[in-house]
Amino acid sequence: MEYKLEEFITYEQPAKYIVESDQYNDSYDIPVLTAGQTFILGYTNEQDNIFDNLPVIIFDDFTTSVQYVDFPFKVKSSAMKLLKNTSKSNLKYCYYMLKYFQKQPENHKRQWISSTSQIKIDLPNIDNQSKIVEKLDFVQEIIAKYKRQLNMLDELVKARFVEMFGDIISNDKNWNSKPLKELCDISRGASPRPISDYLGGTIPWIKIGDATIGDSIYINSTKEHIIKEGVRKSRFIKKGSLIFANCGVSLGFCRIINFDGCIHDGWLAFQNIDTSLNKIFLLTTINQMTGYFRKIAPGGTQPNLNTDIVGNYIQVVPPLELQNQFADFVKEVDKSRLEVQKSLKKTQELFDSLMQKYFG
C-alpha cells in the first residue's frame, strides 16, 4: 500500500537536547552529534536533557543526511529532526529508505516538512521490512569489514615505518637529513580557466578526487582529460613523478602517477628525486607528516602550502638499503590493499543494487 513518509515516520524537534557548551573533551561520556558526515562532533560532560529514546534516526533538515543512532547523545544545533517509526514501520527500514532518498537540495530551506515527508512509497508489511533490513545489514557489515581491513593495512605500514625509522620529526635515530628542495625539484600545478573550456581532450587531468586518501600509493587513471591547448596553462609532469596535495581538506598526502599528465594548482610535483631517496620511502614519509604539514600551513579559510614551505621541510635520509627494504614491504601491503578495495567495490555495488531494488 502506498503511504507518504509522514504517515509512518514521526519527528521531534531537538531543541531540548542542544548542548549549552562547546567545550568538548574526549574524556567526557556523552557524544554530541550531527546528521552530517562528521557525525560525532565531540563529547560533553552535560548530564541534563540527554536524548535516550533509542534507537532513533537523526535527519539533517537542510541536507537530508541521516544517521541511525542507538546510544544516548546530545546535539549541536536545531537544524535536524529526530525521527521515529510508527507501528507500520521498522525504524532501520526507514533509515535505509531515507539514505536512498538522500539528496543535496538546491535551496537552503528545511526539507522534512516541505519535501521529504511528502515522498510516497509502497510500504511492505512489517515482516518484509524486517527481511529487507536483515539483507541490507548483512551487506553493510561486509562493507564495514573491508573498510576495517583497509584501515588495518594503513596502520601496519605506519607501524613498520616507526619501527624502522623512528620519529622522523625529532629524528630520534639521527639519520642524515636535508631540506627537501635539495633532494628534488618542487613545482606547483596550474589550472587553465575556465577548466570547462579545456576538457574533452586526451591528456590526463589529475584531480584530488583521482587519489582519495586510503587508495593505492599510485594513481593509474583520471576521470577527466584536457585538450592540448590546456597543457600550456597547466603543469605537465612525466610518468613516475610524485605529487603532493598542498591545500584544502586533502592537504598532506602523496601519490605516484603511472602516466604522463597535467596537475592543477592543488598539487605540488616532486621530480628529479635524488638517488639517495627511494621514491616510495619519500612518499610514505610525506604521508606520515600530514599532521605536521597541516600545522605549519598558513591560516585562512583553506590551509595552503607553497613550494618554499615544502622545500624547507627537513627530509630524513636513512641508508638506501633500509629504504629499499621498507619500499618492498609497502609494495606487498599495497597489493593486499588493492585486493581488498576490489572486494569492497563489488560489495558496495551489490548494496547499491539492493537499495535500488527495494526503494527505487
pLDDT for 300 beyond 60: no
Entry pTM:
0.81
Q: Tell me the pLDDT band of 131, cut-offs 50, 70 and 90.
A: very high
All three cell numbers of 150, joined, read 583497509
Q: What's the gap between Cα 235 and its chain centre?
A: 26
CB 229 within 8 A of CB 198: yes
pLDDT of residue 294: 82
Give the model confidence (pLDDT) of 218-265 as tens digits: 898 999 999 999 999 999 999 999 999 888 777 878 999 999 999 998
CB 171 within 8 A of CB 316: yes
Print burial letters for 253-274: b (CB count within 10 Å at least 16), e (below 16).
bbbbbebebbbbebbbbbeebe
Write the CB contacts of 291 (distance below 8 Å, at least 6 apart in sequence): 252
Domains of the chain: 2-123 (3.90.220.20), 125-166+320-360 (1.10.287), 176-317 (3.90.220.20)
Q: Tell me the pLDDT band of 301, cut-offs 50, 70 and 90.
A: low
Residue the block writes with cell 521498522: 90
Give the model confidence (pLDDT) of 333-350 as tens digits: 989 998 999 999 999 999
Give the model confidence (pLDDT) of 2-56 as tens digits: 999 999 999 999 999 999 988 899 999 999 999 888 899 999 999 999 999 999 9
Averaged pLDDT for residues 91-118: 89
Averaged pLDDT for residues 118-145: 96
pLDDT of residue 263: 94
pLDDT of residue 274: 96
Total Cβ atoms within 10 A of residue 203: 20
Averaged pLDDT for residues 298-314: 80
pLDDT for 280 beyond 60: yes
Mean pLDDT of the chain: 92
**From CA 204, how far away is CA 25, in angstroms rounded?**
45
Averaged pLDDT for residues 50-65: 94
pLDDT for 215 beyond 70: no
Q: Tell me the pLDDT band of 326, cut-offs 50, 70 and 90.
A: very high
